[in-house]
């Protein structure tokens, strides 16, 4: 089955190449989208490549948004941007369902590693975002979007990558949980301090927005999981798929809304986001090494620092009234982060941590 899908992907790519040189070039976007989606499906049949599956499909979504933004802004007068917050709340609810009191209790078992992970996350990424926003001299709202990405907590993607990288999964889950629970305080505070010169930040409004988008759905998910654990196995299987579909739709809507701004600063913004992401991995890893942590913990902190909850950043950008500007950096950071994180995790996967070799 996998070989047939690979063949279909190759045919879509060849068809796209042919259409590009014809008078139907505009229609090539649909074919290119199908190429990425079919390639993502094919990757799921490979143990080495399945970590790239979701990211490849997201590229298909991104292509559709860049070619045909007019289709993804509204449907029958209903603005699709109105779905972003409910979808984010659904993702956070799923995150709450995946957590458990037992997993949260790991905070007590490894406080030093968790503290280092959270402190590095909320210091390295906001400071680098601030530096890049000033260095690249972007328009004010786009610059604020870069800082916003850096001020958000880590997300579920870092847990998946930690698992693939043979890192400390329990530590990853704990850092994600703690950084997320601190987000209603730290995200608006850091935005006020670092992005205040670019845009007006309403601290308490942002704190409440973060709480209702993140904290309330997570605790609802924890409660739901506690009450029905093991009783709805079909829901456990479908929630990750719902979360992935929700992320794809969020990226689709935000990219469509910000297409014109993205065309003006696209390559520079991609470069800034790439530097932001890779600097997080690098500094998170080497600071952990200097502090004497084990290799598995260093890998975990590296991924936790470099990978952000770009979906939350997108939702906050919408609530701040800047989906087409402030939301651009988060829309790019999400897919790019998954590509870099998957690549790093795959590279580490083939290399046993030093403590396991012994």
What mean pLDDT is predicted for residues 296-322? 86
Mean pLDDT of the chain: 82
What mean pLDDT is predicted for residues 203-228? 82
What mean pLDDT is predicted for residues 253-274? 79
How many whole angstroms separate alpha carbon 251 and alpha carbon 233?
29
Tally of residues, the chain: 358
**Amino acid 125: pLDDT:** 93
- 88-114: per-residue pLDDT in tens? 888 778 777 766 666 566 656 778 888
- 43-69: per-residue pLDDT in tens? 887 777 776 777 788 888 888 888 888
Answer yes or no: is pLDDT of 357 > 60: no
**Which residues are CB-contacts of 158 (< 8 A; sequence separation ≥ 6)?**
172, 175, 176, 303, 304, 307, 341
Percent of the chain with pLDDT over 70: 90
Contact indicator for 153, 309 with CB cutoff of 8 Å: yes
**Amino acid 65: pLDDT:** 84
pTM comes to 0.78
Contact indicator for 73, 202 with CB cutoff of 8 Å: no
What mean pLDDT is predicted for residues 302-323? 85
Answer yes or no: is pLDDT of 37 > 80: yes
Q: What are phi and psi of 98, to 5 degrees?
A: -75, -25
Helices (H) and strands (E) in the chain, counts: 18, 2
Answer yes or no: is pLDDT of 124 > 90: yes
Answer yes or no: is pLDDT of 172 > 60: yes
Contact indicator for 128, 270 with CB cutoff of 8 Å: no
**Amino acid 118: pLDDT:** 92
């Amino acid at each position: 089955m996998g070989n047939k899908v690979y063949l279909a992907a190759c045919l879509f790519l060849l068809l796209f190449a042919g259409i590009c040189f014809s008078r139907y070039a505009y229609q090539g976007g649909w074919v290119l989208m199908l190429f990425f989606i079919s390639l993502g499906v094919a990757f799921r049949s490979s143990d080495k490549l399945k970590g790239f599956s979701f990211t490849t499909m997201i590229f298909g979504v991104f292509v559709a948004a860049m070619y045909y933004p007019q289709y993804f802004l509204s449907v029958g007068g209903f603005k699709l941007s109105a779905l972003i917050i409910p979808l984010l709340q659904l993702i956070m609810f799923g995150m709450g369902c995946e957590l458990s009191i037992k997993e949260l209790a790991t905070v007590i078992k490894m406080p030093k590693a968790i503290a280092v992970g959270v402190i590095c996350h909320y210091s390295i990424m906001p400071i680098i975002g601030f530096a890049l926003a000033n260095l690249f001299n972007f328009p004010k709202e786009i610059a604020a979007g870069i800082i916003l990405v850096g001020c958000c907590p880590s997300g579920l993607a870092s847990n998946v990558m930690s698992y693939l990288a043979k890192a400390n999964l329990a530590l990853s889950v704990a850092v994600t949980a703690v950084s997320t629970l601190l987000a209603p305080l730290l995200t608006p505070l850091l935005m006020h301090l670092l992005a205040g010169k670019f845009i007006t930040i309403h601290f308490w409004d942002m704190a409440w927005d973060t709480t209702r988008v993140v904290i309330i759905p997570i605790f609802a998910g924890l409660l739901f999981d506690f009450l029905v654990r093991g009783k709805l196995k079909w829901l456990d299987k479908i929630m990750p798929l719902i979360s992935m579909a929700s992320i794809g739709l969020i990226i689709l809507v935000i990219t469509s809304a910000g297409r014109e701004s993205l065309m003006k600063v696209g390559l520079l913004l991609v470069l800034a986001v790439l530097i932001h992401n890779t600097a997080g991995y690098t500094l998170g890893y080497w600071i952990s090494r200097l502090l004497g942590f084990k290799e598995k913990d260093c890998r975990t902190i590296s991924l936790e620092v470099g990978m952000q909850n770009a979906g939350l950043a997108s939702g906050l950008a919408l609530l701040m009234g800047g989906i087409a500007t402030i939301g651009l950096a988060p829309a790019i950071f999400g897919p790019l982060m998954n590509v870099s994180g998957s690549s790093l995790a795959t590279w580490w996967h083939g290399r046993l941590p030093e403590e396991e070799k012994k």
